[in-house]
Amino acid sequence: MQIWETTCLPIFESAGVKVRRTVTKAAGHARREVETMSLEDISLVDGFVVVGGDGLFGEVLNGILSVRAEGGPRAAAAARLRLGHIPAGSTDALAWTINGTRKPAAAALHVVLGDRTPIDCMRIDVPGHPPSFSCCIASAGFMGEVLHMSEKMRWAGPSRYDIAGAYAFVKHKTYSATVQYLPADEETGRRGDGEGCSASPSLRHCGSGCQICRQAVGATAGELVVSEVSPPWTRRSGELLEAEPRKVKTVEGKFKGLMCVVSPCRSDKSVHGILPHAHLADGCMWLIMVRQCNHLQYLRFLVALSTSGIAPGQLSFVEVVRCRAARIEPLGNDCRWNVDGESLPNRPVSCQVHRGLVEVFSRGVEHRCS
């Protein structure tokens, strides 16, 4: 709460922005607060600002989408709301990703200025569990193992991830899995390439004013307009794979790790992002498959994640595939899942990206075009 009281609240008060604060008391509290709001309460606010980590942001995100899935007046009111993330957690990947910084004051300024940009969300379906949505990453194998071990070391603070990561690296476990994915069409998310993007034509970096991402909700007189609720995101992720079986690719084998990434996914462990060329709202996700490899090779992969991010063809034992949906079935009982810092059970997981599903208080990362 110190970040809010000393850094962010004065910014809101100076800008004349009215807020109503709710302090969460347990896991799931934030989601319940959102889901139980009346139509009148929803209509009185412009959005929700989360002061916390990625897990708390995920609760609010899933709460809003739960309301939108109901249909009716409450859903229509919830569809216009924006989300903000003031970083106050251990990783804060979402704030890093949409703002390019982990500074709470910068995130607060984006809110009071009324900035808005659409972001893709990935629907994740696990048998026997309600669907969940993610704005960053779902990973199995090494990353899931790190999360599982770090949860037992919360006393160590943020350094618990380094300790758990070192231990998982030494263990050097591999995981058998079957992966199915639907490759993205060449044109998916590519229209509108130009202003706001940088780097090579094939792998442009997403930035403020990115024309690819602006198309997620359309543009009128240079301003984004709120899109209508799209029915596909309310359906099970696996349906897309079943609907286009001839296009589905299947990969089997042993892996060090598997990741479904729906944004650049920046953090203090990967400042440029796991995938620096990924967009915030192009309707695509990236499947990263790290094949069985030796310690030195995996160290090269981890160093690349930390220093520059990963690109297709960068490492011979790492496949990076642009896709629309994927299904990962771990073969064994020891593979763990990590979804934006939250654990999922060891079961087959289906993921599908939905373009520009929500809007956030942000203008995207501002960097110089080249």
Q: Which of 217, 218, 195 is nearest to 207 (CA)?
A: 195
Element at 316 (helix H, strand E) = none
- The SS3 assignment for 12 reads helix
Structure tokens at 298: 């995996």
The answer to whether the CB of 110 falls within 8 A of the CB of 362 is: yes
125 is catalytic: no
Which pairs from 196-200 meet CB under 8 Å and 24+ separation? 196/364, 196/369, 197/369, 198/367, 198/368, 198/369, 198/370, 199/277, 199/370
d(C-alpha 211, C-alpha 208), whole Å = 9
Q: What is the three-class DSSP state of 129?
A: coil
Question: Whole-angstrom Cα distance, residue 121 to residue 233?
Answer: 9
What span, in angstroms and rounded, lies between the C-alpha atoms of 349 and 234?
16
Contact in structure between 63 and 30 (CB atoms under 8 Å) = yes
Among 55, 65, 117, which residue's Cα sits nearest to residue 92?
A: 55
Is residue 166 within 8 A of residue 298, CB to CB? The reply is no
Distances (CA, A) of 118 to 35, 209, 248, 309: 22, 11, 28, 23
What would the two tokens of residue 114 be?
Answer: 């009324």
The candidate with the shortest Cα–Cα distance to 324, out of 264, 284, 265, 275, is 284
> Residue 329, Cβ neighbours under 10 Å: how many?
16
List the catalytic residue out of 54, 92, 125, 340. Answer: 54
- Cα separation of 226 and 216, whole Å? 10
Would you name the residues annotated as active-site residues? 54
